[in-house]
Amino acid sequence: MLYTSIDNKKIKDIKKLNTKKYRDKCSKFLVEGEHLVLEAYKTGYLEELIIEKDVIFPIDIETSYVTNNVINYISELETPQNIMGICKKIEKKEYGSRILILDNIQDPGNLGTIIRSCVAFNIDTIILSENCVDLYNSKVIRASQGLLFHINIVRRDLLLEIPYLKDREYKILGTRVTHGKSLKLLEKISKFAIIMGNEGNGISEEVAELCDEFIYIDMNDKCESLNVGVATSIILYELDK
């Protein structure tokens, strides 16, 4: 079917997927562009294709055709893509033995970058604190390059979840700019949860009190700290050796 009007109810409902409230209500979210749509399709999360008329994109799934003005209305991008997908929210899986916990990460680009590094360095699960940026924010999805479809990601109350992990013999490792154990000296751990904190304030005091140990990245005196996405990538790379 071809949709030509932005006043159509279906089109208005798709547009509302740009808001967290509506995404949470219907457990769906939007992706834009061929790459993200294909990643969603390959992993089984794509439910419907929204495609500009006359564009050919041969995948076997329910498809709605729209005009350029409708694409421009739905899109959040400065240069809208001619292919979009409606996806179901990602299903929860078993935690596995390698966990990354994110405490109040606010920047969508940082979260997307961290997701990519987690997939690259074999993290099983990412646990987001309740005050982290929304996983399905369009900037997070784009920054992850579709890799959010390839890892288990959950949102939890960390003050309840960390004791749960400790009871199941996960070693809880907090991160600090200084003090604690150098990352270079960290022994191999088979079952762990690494905690990365907020961009400006680091790990909250309440969460820090639950850590078994703290680690830091050795740096020269000219640099006081690293971007949380960069720091996470370095730590995960070292732990994956």
DSSP 121: T
Q: What is the DSSP string of 45-94?
A: -EEEEEEETT-----SS-EEEE-HHHHHHH--SSS--SEEEEEEPPPP--
Whether pTM exceeds 0.85: yes
**Measured on CA atoms in the order 88, 30, 93, 129, is the torsion positive or negative?**
negative
* pLDDT tens track, the chain, 241 positions: 899 999 999 999 999 999 999 999 999 999 999 999 999 999 999 999 999 988 888 899 999 999 999 999 999 999 999 999 999 999 889 999 999 999 999 999 999 999 999 999 999 999 999 999 999 999 999 999 999 999 999 999 999 999 999 999 999 999 987 778 888 888 888 899 999 999 988 999 999 999 999 998 888 878 877 889 999 999 999 998 7
Residue 193's DSSP bridge partners are 99, 172
How many angstroms separate the CA atoms of 140 and 115, rounded?
Answer: 9
- What backbone phi and psi angles, to 5 degrees, belong to 155? -115, 130
Which region, left, alpha or beta, applies to residue 220 given φ > 0 means left and ψ of -120 to 50 means alpha?
beta
Question: Residue 199 in contact with residue 110, Cβ under 8 Å?
Answer: yes
Residue 194's pLDDT is 97
Domains of the chain: 2-88 (3.30.1330.30), 98-239 (3.40.1280.10)
Q: How far apart are CA 63 and CA 126, in angstroms?
A: 32
* The one-letter amino acid at 65: Y
Task: Provide the 3-class DSSP secondary structure of residue 170.
Answer: coil
Distance CA 74, CA 6 (A): 9
